[in-house]
Amino acid sequence: MLEIILGVAMFVFTIVALVVLLVIARNSLVAQGAVRLNINDSEELSRNVNAGNTLLNTLASEKIFLPSACGGKGTCGVCKVTVLDGGGAILSSEMGLVTRGEAREGVRLSCQVKVKQDLRIVVPDEIFNIRKWTCKVRSNHNVATFIKELILELPEGEEVPFRAGGYIQIEAPPHTAAYKDYIIEEKYRGDWNKYDMWRYVSKVSEETTRAYSMANYPEEKGLIMLNVRIAPPPLNAPDAPPGIMSSYIFKLQPGDDVVISGPYGEFYARETDKEMVFVGGGAGMAPMRSHIFDQLKRLHSQRKISFWYGARSMRESFY
């Protein structure tokens, strides 16, 4: 009996000791407390923030929204900032997306930089024009077999000050999306039945962000128009997870709330008289529609413009 009691006591003591060691290690290794974030050497822009998160998320909590097409996973390379002091050495996870020249200048992926101490950073001026909105779904219908046109209404009196070819980021909360619940127009259901698309289910346990080009042009105010192609598992890997964001967007219905941020982008047309050639396919229609409508309807351009779009049939060629 004594041996059992001693064994239990030793087991409990070991567990408690391990917990104490973990707490001590956490307190010593994980930065805590307030640090100073010096932004662009501007007292007005700089602020005190809590340590411990990534620079990307820390800036977002201060309503400074850097582009992040991969949602902070370190794979898209668009959340770059210049870290002049306090960021530590560049990580191996960044080197594939940051050139050696950029690294020498202090360019980092903000999603990979942990805020541990005072930081001095440089953020491009245009980033401060980026905002976040909660929109309402106006409509979400198929324009092709696997592509939906999602139209979002901005809050009354609001507009996104974007240029043709720009993009927004859309947020998806944790969710489950069953393909069998999607509303797919009858004329497009044949291929959905053929490939048994209804069997797929997307389960997402954390908030996710993805980038989408806008199909509307700047004079179509008060709304955001997106073309989104569903991304099911590959035919040779049916057990792979479906696309997170496309699965979420396909389940949206009129009246649903959707959070977006923007505007972002660099895919802008130069104002010259040179010929414009637009080539694309699938959901790549979105930025081309934005550019072409902007050239013809807003600018009344006299440039020669040609439009080349790849589709399986005329039914798949929308707009």
Residue range(s) defining the domain that contains residue 90: 34-126
Tokens of 15: 């567990």
**DSSP secondary structure string for all residues of 121-177:** EE--GGGGG-EEEEEEEEEEEEEETTEEEEEEEPSTT------TT-EEEEEE-SEEE
Q: How far apart are CA 185 and CA 206, in angstroms?
A: 30
How many domains are there within the chain? 2
- Final residue of a domain: which of 126, 155, 189? 126
Q: How confident is the model at residue 225 (pLDDT cuts 50, 70, 90)?
A: very high
171 forms beta bridges with: 209, 259
Mean pLDDT of the chain: 91
β-pair type (276-281, 305-310)? parallel
Contacts of 311 (CB under 8 A, 6+ apart): 144, 281, 282, 317
CATH code for position 96: 3.10.20.30
Res. 17 pLDDT band, cuts 50 70 90: low
Beta strand 80-85 pairing with 305-310:
unpaired
pLDDT score recorded for residue 1: 61
Q: DSSP string covering 186-198, please?
A: GGGHHHHHHTTGG
The last residue of a domain, from among 235, 250, 267 = 267
Is there a single domain that holds both residue 169 and residue 43? Answer: no
Residues 121 and 134 grouped into a single domain: no
The CA radius of gyration of the chain, in Å to the nearest whole number, is 24
Q: Domain check: are 59 and 110 in the same one? A: yes
Q: Within this chain, do residues 67 and 161 fall inside the same structural domain, yes or no?
A: no
Q: Is residue 115 part of a domain?
A: yes
Any domain includes 153: yes
Give the residues across from 278 on adjacent strands: 307
161 lies in the same domain as 202: yes
* pLDDT, tens digit (0-9, with 9 covering 90-100), for 252-298: 999 999 999 999 998 899 989 999 999 999 999 999 999 999 999 99
Same domain membership, residue 183 and residue 54? no
84/134 same-domain check: no
Cα 156 off chain centre by: 24
Which pLDDT belongs to residue 5?
Answer: 65
The whole-angstrom separation of Cα 167 and Cα 1 is 71
Q: Within this chain, do residues 134 and 242 fall inside the same structural domain, yes or no?
A: yes
Q: What is the pLDDT of residue 188?
A: 96
Write b or e for each residue in 161-188: b if 16 or more Cβ atoms lie within 10 A of its Cβ, otherwise e: ebbbbbbbbbbbeeeebebeebebeeeb
pLDDT, tens only, 72-120: 889 999 999 999 999 999 999 999 999 999 999 999 999 999 999 999 9
Domain membership flag for residue 316: no
CA angle 114, 117, 122 (to 5 degrees): 70
φ and ψ at residue 37, rounded to 5 degrees: -105, 105
On whether both 51 and 135 belong to a single domain, the answer is: no
288/296 Cα distance (integer angstroms):
12
Strand (E) or helix (H) holding 14: helix 2-29
115 and 234 co-located in one domain:
no
pTM of the complete model: 0.82
Do both 237 and 137 map to the same domain?
Answer: yes
